[in-house]
Amino acid sequence: MALTRQEILDGLKQLGVREGSVIMAHSALSAFGKVEGGAVTVIEALIEAVGPEGTLLMPAMASEQPFRIESSPSTVGTITDVFRSYPGTTRSLHPTHSVAGIGPLVDQLIAGHIDHPTALGPQSPWGRMAQRDDAYILLLGCDQDRNTLLHCAEEAVDGAYLNTISRTYIDAEGRERTKALEKFPGPHRDFIGLDPLFESARAMNVGKIGTAVCRLMSAKQTLMLAIEALRRDPAAVLCDNAHCRDCVQQRADIKRARLADESFTLSAVIDGTGLGVDEVGQALWLIGAEGIGAVEIGPHWARALREHADACREVAAHLGGEGIKAAIIHADVPLRDGVEASAAVDALNAVIEATAVFAPDYLKLPGYPRGTGDADGSVAHAVELLDALGQAAESAGMRLLIENHADALWSDTAGCDRVLTSVSSPAVAFSFNPAHFAHVGEHPFLATYKRARAKRYTEQLMLIDGCTPPWPGYTLLAQGQGEVRELMSILRCRSFAGHFTICLKDLRGAESFARQAAEFWRSLDLM
């Protein structure tokens, strides 16, 4: 049996639609099953349900460019397309979020929509509805993913993933115009996940008309609940599917916005992804998904790039395309007993020339191996080399980093302090590796950081945890003895302007990288 107008009207009343109310109806005609008279019957039932004192609105959004108010078809359902030209309706002029309506409040609700900088702000039809106690969103055979009002919540909290777009339309004089729309919502959302929130707050009635599951909700209360959810969690309306490119990218936008409030720069050792230079696109996708805008090219990638000049240009092009900077590059410069300063400087200059396409801020030097002979002589020679290298780097507008290693002269607090305080070049800075201090039995925060003068020279904190034997040498953050969270926290207290660098060492791999990044964000959220 076909669904009749009276049956639809009865269903609307049972759902809670009252005469005199303002209704924005989103719909799917096919969800009702067979309807006697089709879309027109549904429209007539809705008009009768709100009565002569009520106002019925429907989205009349069009994909056609330029938008023409008289002829551009609505692309959000058959009922809406029939309604836009139904006798007595008025359609708003808007290239992306046109609305059609009938009733005494239509002009008030849609007036001037085109004149506002955003499509879904307080002065949009949806925004104006949400300021009324008698306004409701009605979903006929569709779910929250079709509820345009929820985009108003994203705009209200200034969602980091909203964009500016441009669309064209034909104005009242027949001229083609271009409209820039700020804070415009993007692709995939998980609005359906808000259903339990609305139900538990008793903001929504759910019923069935024919075979169509229908929802009626207060526009004001629904918007308020959605805004509160987004204030608690900026990603509240994004899905958590790790393979959903849209939501991964939008979560990255949220992370970038969070980092914009920090004084430090978040970077990552690209080697830690476990991918090679021939997989640079995938590696940068993993890094960019975490909102990271800078990388360290570690020893594995640096070696590969050194051996393949064409790869340098390709990797640099990928970095530029993704807006990611190669801020730190490993420099294979000889640092050991017996090396002449001139030879070390020549090697550094060769690296500077080879990496010029990346324009890095830092070159990271290898450790100076501890010998079995004269320790004082080795330290003096290391200082001599570092001063010479620092002078060469400064001339090229770069800085140098040395990182503590268990097998290097600068392995512990005393060794790091001895070298760093002896080097006169201001271009030589320190990379603090908590795992490596743990390897030599130190407490990286409770002892090393508090006592070491090396902290004055620290311009990079390696985000890698680890333990002294017999426990694992490297672990994820906050799972070892590196006291990494404490170090992050105290450096943030100093408005640390250097790099926090996600690092994997022996744990490298795509999955491990994602887990390490997640631990970083979890740690930051705890501060």
What's at 416, amino acid-wise?
C
Percentage of residues of the chain with pLDDT beyond 70:
100
Q: Give tens-digit pLDDT for 249-289.
A: 999 999 999 999 999 999 999 999 999 999 999 999 999 99
Instruction: Report yes or no: 404 and 411 within 8 Å, Cβ to Cβ.
Output: yes
The confidence score (pLDDT) of residue 314 equals 95
Phi, psi for residue 51 in degrees, rounded to 5: 75, 175
The strand ranges marked E within 287-410 are 294-297, 325-330, 362-365, 399-403
* Predicted pLDDT of residue 308: 86
Per-residue model confidence as pLDDT tens digits over 461-510: 999 999 999 999 999 999 999 999 999 999 999 999 999 999 999 999 99
Distance CA 226, CA 128 (A): 16
Mean local confidence (pLDDT), 452-458: 93
Q: Does residue 372 register a pLDDT over 70?
A: no
Report the first-to-last Cα separation within the chain, whole angstroms. 62
Q: What is the mean pLDDT of residues 94-108?
A: 98
pLDDT, tens digit, for every residue of 21-52? 999 999 999 999 999 999 999 999 999 999 99
Kindly write down the DSSP assignment for every residue of 202-227, as one continuous string: T-EEEEEETTEEEEEEEHHHHHHHHH
At 188-219, the pLDDT tens digits run 889 999 999 999 999 999 999 999 999 999 99
Opening angle at CA 218, ends 214 and 220, nearest 5: 145
pLDDT in tens, 504-527: 999 999 999 999 999 999 999 999
Domain edges within the chain: 5-232, 262-330+400-525
- Fold classified for 262-330+400-525: TIM Barrel (3.20.20)
Look at residue 339 in the predicted model and tell me its pLDDT: 95
3-state secondary structure at position 460: strand
